[in-house]
Structure 1
Amino acid sequence: MPRYSAEFIKDMPKSDLHLHLDGSLRLDSLIEMAKRSNVTLPSDSVAGLKELVFKDRYQNLGEYLHCFQYTCAVLRDPENLEQAAYELALDNQAEGVNYIEVRFAPQLLIDLSRGIDFDQIMHAVNNGLKRAMQQYNATEAVLSGQKPPFYYGIINCAMRMFGNKGFSPYYTNLFQLMRDFAPMDVIKLAAMELVRASVRLRDGEGIPIVGLDLAGQEAGYPAGKFKEVYEYAHQHFLLKTLHAGEAYGAESVFEAITECYADRIGHGYSMFMPEMIKDPAIVDKSKYISNLASYIADKRIAIEVCLTSNLQTNPAITDIRQHKFKAMLEHRIATVICTDNRLVSNTTVSKEYQLALDNFDVPLKRLKDMVAYGFKKSFFPGSYVEKRQYAKQCLEYFDRVAQRYGFI
C-alpha cells in the first residue's frame, strides 16, 4: 500500500462537498462572535470549549449535535455569518482545497423579530464566500496558471424534523402560526418554503445556491415524506443530496434515490449493514444491499464520505478499518472525501484523506479517481461545459503535484 505524505496530500487539489457552515467555525472566532452578540458560552477560552463542548470523541450523536446550539446562536447575526463564511473559505484555501460546497439550514438562523430574514442570511453567507474567492483568484499563482482557481456553491438544508420550541425562532413561530396542523405537515411546509425561496434567490439575484439537502434525525422521518419538496427542486434544476444511510440503513438510501431523485448521498455507510434493514419484505438482505450498491455505482451517484464524523457519532465503529468505506471501494462506488464539520469533528480535508489513505488500500489511480469525483460530481454553479473544464484543470494540477512527489 503506497504511503502518501501529509505534504503531498496538502498540495494535491481537493474539494469538500459535505461541509456544514455551522459546524465549521474557528473556535477563537466563535468566542469573539459570542461576546459581540451577547451569547453565553460554557467557557470563554479555546481550551475550555475543547474540554466541555467540542471534543475529539463524543458519547453519541446527541452529544455531537449539542455543539450546534452554540454555533447557531452566534450565527443569527449577519456580520458573524459573513465572517464565518469568509474564514471557512480561507481555511480551505490554506490547505489546498479548490472547491467547496457550503451547506447549512437558513431557517435555523432566521429571526424575524430582529429583522433577520432568509434573503439577508443568504446574502451574508454569499458575500463572505465571494470575497474569499475573489481575493484568492487574484493571486499571482492563480493568474499565472500555476494553481487552479477557487470556486464554491451553497447547499441549503431542509430539516427533516424540528420541535415546536427551542430549535430556532423561525420554527417556534411557525408552529405557533400553524398550531392546528399535524407536526409533520408543518415540517414539510417549512421545507417547501425553503426550496421555493432558494430557487427564487438563485434565479433572481444570482446567488450560487446549487443544491438542496435534507438533514436532521433520520429514524422516524423518512426521505419519502419530502417527495414533493424534492420534486420541486428537480423540476427547477436544483441539484439534490440527502443525509441517508447514516442513522438508518439501506432502505433510507433506496428511498433517497427513488423518491427524492438524489444526485449524491451524504454518509451512506450504514447501507452496508444488513442488521439495519427493517422492512420484513426484504428477506435476502445481502442481495438487496448488493443490488443497491451496484445500482449506485452504475449510475455514478456519489457518496459524500465523512470518516471522522462517522467514528464520532456511531459507537459501533470502534476502529476506522471497520468503516464501510472499504465496501464502497470494493463496489466501485464514486466516493468523495469530505469533512462534515471541521470544528465539531476537529478535522480538515487533508486529515480526512490521510485517515482514508493510511487505513485503506488506495493506489494512485484510485486516489486520482476520488479527487476527480470531488470535481466531476460537484454541483458546480456554472454550466456542465465549464465544470468539465474546471475539473480538467484541477486534474492536470494533480498530475503535476504527483510528478513533483515522484509518483509519476
Structure 2
Amino acid sequence: MSDLPTLDEIRRAPKVLLHDHLDGGLRAETIVDVARETGYDALPTTDPAALREWFHEAADSGSLERYLETFRHTVAVMQTREALVRVAAECAEDLADDGVVYAEVRFAPEQHTANGLSLDQVVEAVLEGFRIGSRDGRIRVGTLLTAMRHQARSREIAELAVRYRDLGVVGFDIAGAEAGYPPTRHLDAFEYLQRENAHFTIHAGEGFGLPSIWQAIQWCGADRLGHGVRIIDDIADIDGTPKLGRLAAYVRDKRIPLEMCPTSNLQTGAAPSIAEHPIGLLRQLHFRVTVNTDNRLMSDTTLSQEFAKLVDAFGYGWDDLQWFTVNAMKSAFIPFDERLALINGLIKPGFAQLKWRVNDR
C-alpha cells in the first residue's frame, strides 16, 4: 500500500488558495441559469455538462490569448447584482467543500458594469456573496481587485481596493495578456498602493518571460508574482547542478511568493507537462512556491486535484503538501497574527491529524 496522499485524503486537508479568478470558477449550471434569466443567447450550448466540457476544451489550447477568450461567456452572465452575489456565494461554498480554509479570490470590477452597475456596487455585491457563502465558518475569503493591463483604469481600481480594504478586500492585482502590456504602464497605481501601505500581486512570467518578472518586482514593487513560471529561465544547469541567475537568486532570497497554477500553466503553454513543470525544481531549491487553481471551470480542477497531480508527478508526501500550504498562508494579504493563528491553530494540526490517520491505516 502506498503511503502517498490520495485525492480523498487531500480533500480533507486544510488548504490555502491565493490565485483563483471569480469569473473562471463558475458552475456550468449557474451560467446556463443566469444566461436564460438575462437573455444572453451566445452560449455554445445550454446543456451544463456539455458546456463544462466546452470550457475545458476551449481553454486547453496552449495559448494564453485563446485561454482568455473563454471568459467572454462567464463575464457576460456576471452583469447584475443578483448574479454577482450568487457566483461569489457559490465560489466560497465550492472552495470550502474542497477543504480550502482560506482563499483570496480575484476579479476585475471594471468588467461587470455593462448593465449599469457602478464599481462600488460590483464590489459590494461580490463581498456580500462571499459573506453568504462563508457564513458557516468553514472558510475565510479575502478579495483581490484586479485591473486589466490593456485598459487604463488601474489607478481607479487601486483606489477602490484601498477604499474597501477594511470590508473584505485584501489586495490588488493586474491581469490580462502580458505581451505588449508591461506592468510598468501602471506605475501610478502601484506607487499609490505603496503610499497607502496596501498589498498587491502582479501577473508576471506566465505568457511572457523574465523581463515581466523583473519589471513587476524591481519597477512596480510586487509583493507576490502571479504564476512566475518563467523564473526557471534564469536557472542554468551546470553539470547537473542548478545555478541561479541574479533575478532568480533575488526572488528566492527575498522570499517573493510564486502563485503557481500547474494545470492552467499547461493549458496556456507556460509549462510542457506536470512532470516537467518548474514547480518541481523550484520546490527543491526552496523558492516560496504556492499551489493554486487559477480558473477552476476552464481547467476542470480543484485545489485538491492540483495537489494530487503533483503527488503523482513528483511523489510528494504530506510534509511537501503542508510546506506548500504554509507557504501560501505565510504569503496571504491578511495581518500577520491572523496568518499565524491559521497556521498554528488549523493548518498544522489538520495535517498532523491526517498524517496520523494515514500512518495508522
Identify the match of residue 391 of structure 1 among 312, 332, 343: 343
Q: Per-residue deviation at 1:321?
A: 1.4
1: CA distance between counterparts of 2:215 and 2:62?
29
After TM superposition, list the pairs within 5 Å mapping 1:357-396 onto structure 2: 357-380=311-334, 383-393=335-345, 394-396=347-349
Q: Are 1:71 and 2:78 matched, yes or no?
A: no
SS at match of 1:321: coil
State the AA in 1 paired with 2:267. Answer: Q
Show structure 1 runs of 4+ deviating over 4 A: none
SS at match of 2:296: coil
Which residue of structure 1 aligns with residue 238 of structure 2?
A: none
SS at match of 1:161: coil
Q: Deviations over 1:317-354 (max 9, x none)?
A: 44321211122113211111100001011100001001
Q: Are 1:192 and 2:161 matched, yes or no?
A: no
State the AA in 1 paired with 2:210. Answer: A
322-331 or 357-366, which deviates more: 357-366
Q: Does the 8 Å CA contact 2:234/2:245 hold for their aligned counterparts?
A: no
State the AA in 1 paired with 2:158. Answer: V
Q: Per-residue deviation at 1:51?
A: 4.7
338-347 or 4-13, which deviates more: 4-13
2: CA distance between counterparts of 1:336 and 1:15?
9
Which residue of structure 1 aligns with residue 259 of structure 2?
A: 304
Residues 1:400 and 1:87: Cα distance change in structure 2 (over 3 Å): same
SS at match of 2:221: coil
Q: Per-residue deviation at 1:357?
A: 1.6
328-337 or 50-59, which deviates more: 50-59
Residues 1:398 and 1:249: Cα distance change in structure 2 (over 3 Å): same
SS at match of 2:197: coil
After TM superposition, list the pairs within 5 Å mapping 1:70-89 onto structure 2: 70-89=73-92
State the AA in 2 paired with 1:48. Answer: A
1: CA distance between counterparts of 2:182 and 2:106?
20
Which residue of structure 2 aligns with residue 36 of structure 1?
A: 37
244-253 or 355-364, which deviates more: 355-364
Which residue of structure 2 aligns with residue 172 of structure 1?
A: none
2: CA distance between counterparts of 1:407 and 1:294?
41
State the AA in 2 paired with 1:217. Answer: A
Which residue of structure 1 aligns with residue 140 of structure 2?
A: 151
Any unmatched runs of 5+ in structure 2? 236-241
Q: Are 1:347 and 2:301 matched, yes or no?
A: yes
State the AA in 2 paired with 1:385. Answer: D
Q: Per-residue deviation at 1:32?
A: 0.3
Q: Deviations over 1:297-320 (max 9, x none)?
A: 222111111000011110x74432
Q: Per-residue deviation at 1:361?
A: 4.3
Q: Does the 8 Å CA contact 2:4/2:315 hold for their aligned counterparts?
A: no
Which residue of structure 1 aligns with residue 178 of structure 2?
A: 218
Q: Per-residue deviation at 1:406?
A: 1.4
Residues 1:293 and 1:363: Cα distance change in structure 2 (over 3 Å): farther
- Larger-Rg structure: 1
2: CA distance between counterparts of 1:230 and 1:353?
32
1: CA distance between counterparts of 2:268 and 2:360?
35
Which residue of structure 1 aligns with residue 239 of structure 2?
A: none
Which residue of structure 2 aligns with residue 405 of structure 1?
A: 358
Identify the match of residue 108 of structure 1 among 106, 111, 115: 111
Corresponding pairs, count:
351
After TM superposition, list the pairs within 5 Å mapping 1:96-135 onto structure 2: 96-111=99-114, 114-134=115-135
Q: Per-residue deviation at 1:232?
A: 0.9
2: CA distance between counterparts of 1:350 and 1:363?
14
Q: Does the 8 Å CA contact 1:249/1:272 hold for their aligned counterparts?
A: no
Residues 1:27 and 1:5: Cα distance change in structure 2 (over 3 Å): same
Q: Does the 8 Å CA contact 1:268/1:305 hold for their aligned counterparts?
A: yes
SS at match of 1:99: strand
Given the two structures, how large is their TM-score scaled by the length of structure 2?
0.92
State the AA in 2 paired with 1:374. Answer: A
- Give the CA RMSD over aligned residues: 2.1
Q: Deviations over 1:225-270 (max 9, x none)?
A: 2222111112212211111000111221121111121111111112
Q: Per-residue deviation at 1:390?
A: 1.9
Given the two structures, how large is their TM-score scaled by the length of structure 1?
0.81
State the AA in 2 paired with 1:384. Answer: F
Q: Per-residue deviation at 1:63?
A: 2.6
Q: Per-residue deviation at 1:2?
A: 5.4
Counting aligned pairs with the same residue, the percent is 34
Residues 1:274 and 1:407: Cα distance change in structure 2 (over 3 Å): farther
Residues 1:122 and 1:365: Cα distance change in structure 2 (over 3 Å): same
1: CA distance between counterparts of 2:35 and 2:246?
49
